[in-house]
Amino acid sequence: MTAGAQSIELGVPRNIVWDLLVGGGRRDWYYRLNPTGEFVEGAHISWVDVEGKAVEESDVVTVEPGRRLVLRTRFVFAPGLAAAAPHIVTWEVSGDGNRSTARKSWEAEGPASQMLASEAQAQLEGLRLAADPAARAELARLDQIGEVEIRDVSPALLPAYLDFFDHRAFQDFPEWQSCYCIETHLPANLSDDEAAKRVAEENRHDMSESIKHAEVTALLAFEGGNPIGWCNYGETTRLSGLMHRFGLAAANHEGVGSVACFVIAAPYRGHGVATALLGAAVERLRARGVSTVEAYPKRSDDSQHTNYRGPLAMFLRAGFEPYREAGSHLILRKSLL
């Protein structure tokens, strides 16, 4: 059994933080999960995602109102995690007046222990954003931005890639800081269970190695010398993780390219950065001799965070047309001939 803990300071009273921990409704700061059940001792809580699937199951062990919540929890979003022994998570809130401290600690084994250690600080940062208006104000959209430069990701741009994903990409949604855009490139033989257990350190390392060896086709947008946006794209048959995610057959994708995902730093959204990245990706695919380009937006623009595939409206404006459905997503195509 491995124990760990992380904490964060918040510029709000303790009761505001406590209400976010035990109140009703969706936890946008905690992976957009909705807890079903009451936070009273002996109760059972099922944590459900936006598609209605259970992600965690918790039994409430201890409740000290306004101060301490102890849960016996099991992750159930992957078979290997669901079969593991439950772990203990403790949330504590302290402080007086208009300042408080939130602390998350845990006792766990195996992959659950690694995940908790990797994700805890991001969860606390998400809690701070949900609770503290001053924290949200720090990430407000800029009224104006300077000229945007689009550059191809290369080994020389590895430091800029790391700067972007370490410090800028998900400041307003810290729970996604572990991704490093690895999903697009995960090996085809990696099981869903193995993929679910991956943590930030693994993703960061593997994407860094791929960039060092020029195995990633991607773009970074810069403003004032700083990376502010990212687009992962390429020839579809080289994007094994994307093909697995959408069940794409290699035989149907010869000569096809894909625009896989976008990440724009919060203050720079709404200034056409994603549109500029899309245009650059399409032109680079055309120059490679690709005849058709695909995109994979969600049907509805319900969240800036879940629209990391790119918003549907942007692709339609760029001349993409519906090709087929893929669950909650659409597959769009544009001819480059």
Per-residue pLDDT of 143-196, as tens digits, reads 999 999 999 999 999 999 999 999 999 999 898 889 999 999 988 777 777 887
d(CA 116, CA 104): 10
Reported as a single tens digit per residue, the pLDDT across 189-223 is 777 778 877 889 999 999 999 999 999 999 999 99
What integer pLDDT is reported at residue 40 of this predicted model? 95
Q: What does residue 44 show for φ and ψ, rounded to 5 degrees? A: -110, 135
For residue 56, count CB atoms less than 10 angstroms from its CB and return exposed for 0-12, middle for 13-18, buried for 19 or more: buried
What integer pLDDT is reported at residue 197 of this predicted model? 78
d(CA 39, CA 159): 44
Which residues lie closer than 8 Å to 117 by C-beta, 6 or more apart?
2, 4, 199
What integer pLDDT is reported at residue 302 of this predicted model? 63
* Binned average pLDDT, 10 residues per bin, the chain of 337 residues: 92 96 90 93 94 93 97 91 92 95 94 89 94 93 97 98 95 89 87 81 95 96 97 96 92 95 96 97 97 94 77 96 93 96
What integer pLDDT is reported at residue 243 of this predicted model? 94
Q: What does residue 105 show for φ and ψ, rounded to 5 degrees? A: -130, 165
| Residue 333 near residue 285, CB atoms below 8 Å | no
What dotted CATH number matches 148-335?
3.40.630.30
What integer pLDDT is reported at residue 79 of this predicted model? 87
For residue 51, count CB atoms less than 10 angstroms from its CB and return exposed for 0-12, middle for 13-18, buried for 19 or more: exposed
The domain 2-137 is classified under which CATH number: 3.40.109.10, 3.30.530.20, 3.40.50.1110, 1.20.120.1200?
A: 3.30.530.20
Domain boundaries, the chain: 2-137, 148-335
Q: Which of 44, 42, 67, 64 is nearest to 56 (CA)?
A: 44
d(CA 114, CA 135): 28
Q: What is the DSSP letter of 167?
A: I
What integer pLDDT is reported at residue 263 of this predicted model? 96
d(CA 333, CA 248): 13
Rg (CA), the chain: 21
Kind plus residue range of the DSSP H or E element containing 58? strand 54-64
